[in-house]
Chain A
Amino acid sequence: MAGTPEVASAGPLLEMRGITKRFPGVLANDNVDFDVRPGEVHALFGENGAGKSTLMHVLYGIHQPDRGTIALGGRPVRIPSPAAAIAMGIGMVHQHFMLVPTLTVAENVSLGLKSSRGPLKDLSRVAARVEELSESYGLRVHPSAKVWQLSVGERQRVEIIKALYRESRLLVLDEPTAVLTPGEVDELFAALRKMASEGCGLVFISHKIREVLGLSDRVTVLRAGRRVATVQAGEVSGEQLAEMMVGRHINREDLTASAVPGRARLSVKGLVVRGDRGTEAVRGVSLEVRAGEIVGIAGVSGNGQRELEEAIAGLRPPAQGSVLVDGAELAGRPSGAVRRAGLGYVPEERMRHGVVGEFSVAENLMLASSNDPALLRRPGFLRRRAVRARARELVAAFDVRTPSLATPVRNLSGGNIQKLIVARELAAQPKVFLVAQPTRGIDVTAARYIHERLRAEAAKGTAVLIVSEDLDEVMTVSTRVLVMYEGRVIGEADPRHTTREAIGLMMAGVVAAGAEPARGPGRELEAAADAEVV
């Protein structure tokens, strides 16, 4: 590693002073100071849109700061491009993996670097070095494996090895743990600590207070682009961090009162679904959601949740098994039929699947009802007045903040788009309501609102099934939690009598012997933890 004594001894490894970055309309970073010392882990903490990624993009040469200076090892530098950043020994593990799925690990690791054999690839040499690194840092990967074959955790490791291979002295990790199992998180942290111990400086971005406090030496909190504080991790509590982050006291969202479940409205039996690559992603899932229930499916992404959703919603024909809505068999029916049978569905990827960005608010609100007799006069012509009327109602009823009904949804905020989708889906008065990642990347108030809607819907006797990677959300909203692991439901728990640790274990594939009631200490931390989502 490049933890050369000369650098280690020199003051801060990185010094960013008065960084200001303005995007048209947004002040993403406002006069931010930030520094990293050799051998330390410095966490960046803040709400969605606080400016964490932007600050790091500035450091990595993706964006140029409008004002402010950057110094590396005491020397002031300009960083015009990622290439330059790499050359200066800066590495970055992005929020979204920057890997080429069709290439091998070794090819990805050495991508863009000079080869010892000139124009020819020298993969054997690269592979050897990768073996070495994964050996010494305990990051297990096969150099010759194609990246698309790797699990999310393994891809994460490849990203780190990429940085190590490039001998970065300063490594930035943007939300690296969002997609890892607790076990994988531990391995990752071990590797990071080792790097730090070798004099490398690390920047760690996360929404998870526990990890921030657990891993880092110092924490810098950003809010709305400004630096709120930089504190020693040892000297703050979770609550304090949470409050710094949102700038006011958080009172917890109260847990769902246990509803008296009615008859089963959705029942899935022995469902087997193939993933995009033909492998079995869902391996025999059976579950039941009763009227009035909110069932939450917890699990690390990539364990078959998406395939399960899509199979239920009629977007992916299952290989085996059945899906019944109020007793009607829907397995293998097209999505249109499934909807007509009474399924409401909020997809995971809002912009891509939930709405047509170029369409107006009104058009998006009728997206699923282009055959609805109420909106059509024979033969199939739209009754625009009816369309607008319905849109107006929904926008009001669900408090969708939009300039007008004709505004392209592209221009709405994430929270409002989500509200629009929920409105559209509930307008059809579904018998079963399937919601994926209800509040991912959505601000506090909107998230609250959506959670309340879910509860209200359940109270009306709808069967609600939510799928979320956010354990805290699942535990806050659901009356019953199922945990998915490697395509199976490996455990069930009552959120009011289970610790998140217990469920975390299940998410890692360790089946807990009966969920023990959790009262008293430990709850406090959770209170703070809830603040991350709510």
Chain B
Amino acid sequence: MSQFFTYAVITATIASAVQYAAPFLLAALGETVGQRSGVLNLGVDGIMLLSAFSCYFVALRTGSDLLGVVVGMLTGAVLGLLTAFMSVTLRAQQGISGIGVYILGLGLSDLLFVRFVGTPLPVSSLPNVSVPGLSRLPALGPMFFQQNWLVYIAFLLVPAVAFFLYRTTYGTRVLAVGENPAAADSVGISVTRTRYATVVFGCTMAGLAGSTLLLLDGIFQENLTQSAGFIAVALVYFGAWRPFGVMTGSLLYGVVTAVVLQWKSLGIIPTSAADLAATAPAVITVLALVVLAGRFKQPSSLGKAYVRGA
């Protein structure tokens, strides 16, 4: 097989890059919508952890991925209500409340794992679904069209969210609330309801992201996400609050991660350099932020609670 070596490696690397990107993309898309309405949710990672666990637990007990994903998303939605309640109703400082949710998720997810599962049994990780026709394309097929269904969903959601934000009246309302809540309020748009909606949506997506992450490896462990949620938030800035920008960021991150992991395990990267190579994704993301951050303006009311009568 050595003559196919590079070809096999390249396709496999891209394929897994697309797969790695999926959870980041899902979480980042959700966060994008939330931030467009002016709410900064830093609890994503904690939410992903708790959803990942609930997904794992259900999938383990029922043997159904689908059910696991549904419950994972519900978990996200519930935590979304909590987040919205803190940021919108209680006007809590969004930086801190997010950290709180993160730490809560970090502790509680493993606590529940130890209590209700203990022995780390793997749930069968997601089977790949070949897209009829497309999957048989040379190179492209194995790279993009032999993925599991959650990956397809993640990437289909990109145009969906873009369409929602830019083409629908609801999207316009979200943007208005994020840029000038007072103006939205003055034409009878409920800032509170809008933000609750976007935050709950965002956290549901975080739940989906957590479930995806879980099902990709088929196993839960303490701090499974390893800050994936924070990286997702970074990717929102990276993508300048635009769905396709966020997708680009996620793919970049996925590719770098995949290259490092794959080439390391195939010995293309020597073990001695492996650790340093592993810093690449984070380093590249930060540098990307350095280059991009100045360029784009964030939603004007991002992180600020709205008070009527101002």
Contact B167 A121 (CB under 8 A): yes
Which chain A residues numbered 83 to 124 have a C-beta less than 8 Å away from chain B? 83-84, 86-87, 92, 94, 96-103, 107-108, 110-115, 119-121
B interface footprint on A292-309 (CB within 8 Å = 1, 0 otherwise): 000000000000000000
Known: A101-B179, A103-B176. A120 touches B167 (CB 8 A): yes
- Among B168, B175, B189, the residue within 8 A (CB) of A102 is B175
- Chain B residues within 8 Å of A112, by CB: 173, 176, 184, 187-189
Residue A17 at the chain B interface, CB threshold 8 Å: no
Residue B182 at the chain A interface, CB threshold 8 Å: yes
- Among A87, A113, A119, the residue within 8 A (CB) of B170 is A119
Known: A62-B308, A82-B185, A112-B187. A120 touches B169 (CB 8 A): yes
Alpha-carbon distance between A100 and B38 when the two chains are bound, in angstroms: 13
Known: A62-B308, A101-B180, A111-B173. A86 touches B187 (CB 8 A): yes
Residue A57 at the chain B interface, CB threshold 8 Å: yes
Residue B172 at the chain A interface, CB threshold 8 Å: yes
Contact B175 A103 (CB under 8 A): yes
- Chain A residues within 8 Å of B186, by CB: 82, 92, 94, 98
B interface footprint on A184-207 (CB within 8 Å = 1, 0 otherwise): 000000000000000000000000
- Among A57, A83, A99, the residue within 8 A (CB) of B180 is A99
- The SS class assigned to the B binding surface is helix
- Chain A residues within 8 Å of B184, by CB: 100, 111-112
Known: A112-B187, A112-B189. A98 touches B182 (CB 8 A): yes
Q: How large is the interface on A (under 10, 10 to 19, 20 to 34, 35 or more residues)?
A: 20 to 34
- Chain A residues within 8 Å of B185, by CB: 82
A interface footprint on B160-175 (CB within 8 Å = 1, 0 otherwise): 0000000111101101
Contact B172 A111 (CB under 8 A): yes
B interface footprint on A464-498 (CB within 8 Å = 1, 0 otherwise): 00000000000000000000000000000000000
Alpha-carbon distance between A120 and B166 when the two chains are bound, in angstroms: 10
20 pairs of residues in contact across A and B, judged by CB atoms under 8 Å: A63-B309, A82-B187, A82-B188, A84-B188, A98-B186, A98-B187, A99-B180, A100-B176, A101-B179, A111-B189, A112-B176, A112-B184, A112-B187, A112-B188, A112-B189, A113-B169, A114-B169, A120-B168, A121-B172, A162-B187
Alpha-carbon distance between A523 and B151 when the two chains are bound, in angstroms: 77
Alpha-carbon distance between A76 and B121 when the two chains are bound, in angstroms: 68
Contact B169 A119 (CB under 8 A): yes
- Among A62, A98, A99, A107, the residue within 8 A (CB) of B172 is A107
Residue B112 at the chain A interface, CB threshold 8 Å: no
Contact B183 A100 (CB under 8 A): yes
Alpha-carbon distance between A103 and B176 when the two chains are bound, in angstroms: 8
Known: A62-B309, A63-B309, A111-B189. A119 touches B168 (CB 8 A): yes
> Chain B nearest CB: distance from A208 CB in Å?
24
Residue A81 at the chain B interface, CB threshold 8 Å: yes
- Chain A residues within 8 Å of B172, by CB: 103, 107, 111, 121
- Chain A residues within 8 Å of B173, by CB: 111-112
> Chain B nearest CB: distance from A56 CB in Å?
12
> Chain A nearest CB: distance from B299 CB in Å?
9
Which chain B residues numbered 184 to 201 have a C-beta less than 8 Å away from chain A? 184-190
Contact B180 A98 (CB under 8 A): yes
B176 nearest in chain A by CB position: A100
A interface footprint on B291-302 (CB within 8 Å = 1, 0 otherwise): 000000000100
Contact A111 B309 (CB under 8 A): no
Q: How large is the interface on B (under 10, 10 to 19, 20 to 34, 35 or more residues)?
A: 20 to 34
Alpha-carbon distance between A110 and B189 when the two chains are bound, in angstroms: 12
> Chain B nearest CB: distance from A311 CB in Å?
21
> Chain A nearest CB: distance from B33 CB in Å?
15
Contact A121 B182 (CB under 8 A): no
- Chain A residues within 8 Å of B175, by CB: 100, 102-103
B interface footprint on A124-162 (CB within 8 Å = 1, 0 otherwise): 000000000000000000000000000000000000001
- Chain A residues within 8 Å of B168, by CB: 119-121
Contact B187 A111 (CB under 8 A): yes
Alpha-carbon distance between A107 and B175 when the two chains are bound, in angstroms: 11
- Chain A residues within 8 Å of B190, by CB: 83
> Chain B nearest CB: distance from A252 CB in Å?
36
A83 nearest in chain B by CB position: B188
Alpha-carbon distance between A6 and B182 when the two chains are bound, in angstroms: 34
Alpha-carbon distance between A98 and B187 when the two chains are bound, in angstroms: 9
- Chain B residues within 8 Å of A86, by CB: 187-188
Cβ-closest 8 pairs across A and B: A83-B188, A112-B187, A98-B183, A98-B186, A100-B176, A112-B189, A100-B179, A119-B168
Beyond the given A83-B188, A103-B179, A115-B169, could you list 12 further A-B residue pairs with CB under 8 A, ordered by the A residue number?
A: A98-B183, A98-B187, A101-B300, A102-B175, A103-B172, A103-B176, A111-B183, A111-B189, A112-B173, A112-B187, A112-B188, A121-B167
B163 nearest in chain A by CB position: A120
> Chain A nearest CB: distance from B201 CB in Å?
15
- Chain A residues within 8 Å of B189, by CB: 111-112
- Chain B residues within 8 Å of A87, by CB: 188
B interface footprint on A214-248 (CB within 8 Å = 1, 0 otherwise): 00000000000000000000000000000000000
> Chain A nearest CB: distance from B57 CB in Å?
36
